[in-house]
Amino acid sequence: MVLKLYGFATSTCTLRVAVVLKEKNVPFEFIPVDLLKGAHKAPEFTAYQPFGQVPYIDDNGLILYESRAIGRYIAAKYASQGTPLLPTDPTAIAFFEQAASTETSNYDPFVSGLAWELKFSMLFGGKTDEARAKSLQGQLSAKLDAYDVILGKQKYLAGNDITLADLFHLPYGAVVLDVGLDEFSSRPNVARWWKDISSRASWEAVKGGI
Partner 1 sequence: MVKLYGFTHSTCTRLVALVCKEKNIPYELVHVNLAKGEQKDPAFTANQPFGQVPYIDDEGFILYESRAIARYLSKKYPNQGTSLIPSDPKAEGLFEQAASIEAFNFTAFVAPIVAEKVFKPRRGLQPNEERVTELLAMLQGKMDAYDAILGKQKYLAGDSVTLADLSHLPHGTVFCQAGYAEVFESRPNLSRWWKDISSRPAWLAVKDGA
Minimum distance from residue 147 beta carbon to partner 1 (Å): 8
Length of the chain as a residue count: 210
Please report whether residue 81 would count as binding partner 1 according to CB under 8 A: no
Please report whether residue 180 would count as binding partner 1 according to CB under 8 A: no
φ/ψ bin of 25: left (φ > 0), alpha (ψ from -120 to 50), beta (otherwise): left
**Closer of 98 and 186 to partner 1 (Cβ):** 98
Please report whether residue 43 would count as binding partner 1 according to CB under 8 A: no
Residue 159 DSSP one-character state: B
Phi, psi of 42 (to 5 degrees): -75, 150
In contact, 133 and 117? CB cutoff 8 Å: yes
Please report whether residue 111 would count as binding partner 1 according to CB under 8 A: no
Please report whether residue 40 would count as binding partner 1 according to CB under 8 A: no
Please report whether residue 141 would count as binding partner 1 according to CB under 8 A: no
- Residue 54: name the closest of 20, 123, 5, 21 by CA: 5
> Residues 4, 28, 58, 73: which binds partner 1 (CB under 8 A)?
73
> Residues 90, 125, 127, 201: which binds partner 1 (CB under 8 A)?
90
CA distance 182 to 168: 18
> Residues 94, 130, 138, 186: which binds partner 1 (CB under 8 A)?
94
Q: Which stretch binds partner 1 (CB under 8 A): 58-66, 116-124, 187-195, 199-207?
A: 58-66
> Residues 4, 77, 119, 192: which binds partner 1 (CB under 8 A)?
77
φ/ψ bin of 88: left (φ > 0), alpha (ψ from -120 to 50), beta (otherwise): alpha
Residue 184 DSSP one-character state: S
Query: Using CA atoms in the order 115, 118, 124, 127, what is the torsion angle rounded to 10 degrees?
Result: 140
Q: Which stretch binds partner 1 (CB under 8 A): 30-38, 49-57, 172-180, 188-196?
A: 49-57
CA distance 94 to 139: 26
**Closer of 90 and 125 to partner 1 (Cβ):** 90
Q: Which residues bind partner 1 (CB under 8 A)?
A: 46, 50-52, 62, 64-69, 72-73, 76-77, 90-91, 93-95, 97-98, 100-102, 104-106, 108-109, 143, 146, 149-150
